[in-house]
Amino acid sequence: MGFYGVQRLSSDEALARKVAGGDRRAFTSIYRRHCSGLYRYCLGSLGDALQAQEALERTMRGALKALLQDRRDTALKPWLYRLAHEETGTRSPGAVDQGGRLSQVQKDLAELPHPQRGGLLMRELAGLSFEEIGLALRISPDDAQQTVYEARLRMAELRGKPA
């Protein structure tokens, strides 16, 4: 609750409402605030810088269009990650470095089902809470936690190590 019991909107939510009202400068603020985390998510999911940049651009174009039409069903941050998750879901991760550890991690990530890969990357690269991951993946927070746990187990199995 804010001053005198009036609930204040988070700055993300205030910006999203401004965009819905036609303020494109507010979208620039949203973009600047979230683009690096979304890019890291796309890069982690896809493993290729060019594909990640393209996915980020498609994500943000879709976000702008939806925000201008006031078509959003959850908090801004997890909603943006949902859009990025959908953009990266039909593409297969590539190898960033040939023969190195990062390449092996990318290969291991590619073995995960897309929801597990997405949940793990949202948690580890973007620091989303299980509630936010749940909103992004349209599952409960408990299911989001389980999804990330299963992804970690599978990654450990792929490395040949116990979890």
In a domain, residue 128? The reply is yes
The yes-or-no verdict on residue 8 having pLDDT over 80 is no
**Per-residue pLDDT, 91:** 58
In a domain, residue 41? The reply is yes
| Proportion of the chain in helix, strand, coil states, percent, rounded to 5 | 70, 0, 30
pTM above 0.85, yes or no: no
- DSSP-derived letter for residue 99 is T
In a domain, residue 40? The reply is yes
d(CA 138, CA 48): 26
The better pLDDT of the pair 10, 86 is held by 86
Q: Rounded mean pLDDT of 38-52? A: 93
d(CA 144, CA 135): 9
Q: What is the CATH number of the domain that holds 139?
A: 1.20.140.160
Mean pLDDT of the chain: 87
In a domain, residue 3? The reply is no
Grade residue 3 by pLDDT with cuts at 50, 70 and 90: very low
In a domain, residue 2? The reply is no
d(CA 118, CA 116): 5
**Per-residue pLDDT, 160:** 80
In a domain, residue 1? The reply is no
The yes-or-no verdict on residue 33 having pLDDT over 80 is yes
Please check whether residue 34 is in contact with residue 122, taking contact to mean a CB–CB distance below 8 angstroms.
no
Domain count, the chain: 1
d(CA 68, CA 150): 37
Q: In the structure encoding, which two tokens stand for residue 4, read together?
A: 């005198």
Alpha carbon distances (Å) from 95 to 35, 73, 114: 22, 34, 17
Q: How far is CA 38 from the centre of its chain?
A: 6
